[in-house]
Amino acid sequence: MKDDVVKVIIKFPGFFRVVRCQRGAKKWISFQWLNLRAPLEDIKKGHEAGIVEAENNGITTYLAETQHSKGQLRNEVTPWWSTFIPTLNKGGVNKIITIDKSEDNKGAALDRITRKDWTKNLSSGGIDYYSAKDKDSAIDLVD
């Protein structure tokens, strides 16, 4: 069974789009990444739109589909996490699931370093973090 994109919330061509998805009773906000080098201002706008959509629709899970993405996050993104994460709780988001890149991806080692900072910020902000090997496994983790 495939998930349905219920609504495209916002798009940043060449970088990512944010969509509200549903599979059966499971609902989530998905960040479908193509290139992690998106400018910080676009990432901020995408997350703001995602949080509003989550709050308006009783959605508590974010899914970061990074498995097909290229590049690494820009340096200015990591420091922003500490101000961004508290806004997730206010919007009702309490879980983030990331679909991992494959081990043969050239950026995987650097992703793990970035992910360490990410998970540290999430846990200090009261957000549960899960990692999945593929989309079906990730959706199994959605409430």
| pLDDT tens-place string over residues 10-57 | 999 999 999 999 998 999 999 999 998 999 999 999 999 999 999 999
Give the range of the structural domain holding residue 136, as residue numbers without chain letter.
4-140
Strand locations in the chain (E): 4-12, 16-23, 26-33, 61-65, 95-99, 128-132
Split into its structural domains, the chain has a count of 1
User: Residue 1 has what pLDDT?
Assistant: 46
Q: Which residues pair with 11 in a beta bridge?
A: 17
Taking residue 136's Cβ as centre, other Cβ atoms within 10 Å add up to 13
Give 56-106 pLDDT, tens digit per residue. Answer: 999 999 999 988 888 888 889 888 888 888 888 888 899 999 887 655 544
Contact criterion met (CB below 8 Å) for 81 and 117? yes
User: Residue 111 has what pLDDT?
Assistant: 57
Say which CATH number the domain at 102 has: 3.30.750.24
Task: Kindly report the pTM of this predicted structure.
Answer: 0.85
User: Residue 27 has what pLDDT?
Assistant: 95
Q: Highest-confidence range of 24-28, 113-117, 119-123, 124-128, by mean pLDDT? A: 24-28
Q: How far apart are the first and last CA of the chain?
A: 17
**116-140 average pLDDT score:** 81
Taking residue 123's Cβ as centre, other Cβ atoms within 10 Å add up to 12
User: Residue 55 has what pLDDT?
Assistant: 95
Closest C-alpha among 32, 40, 41 to residue 14: 32
- Per the structure block, which two tokens stand in for 53? 């959509």
Spatial distance between the Cα atoms of 34 and 31, rounded to a whole number of angstroms = 10
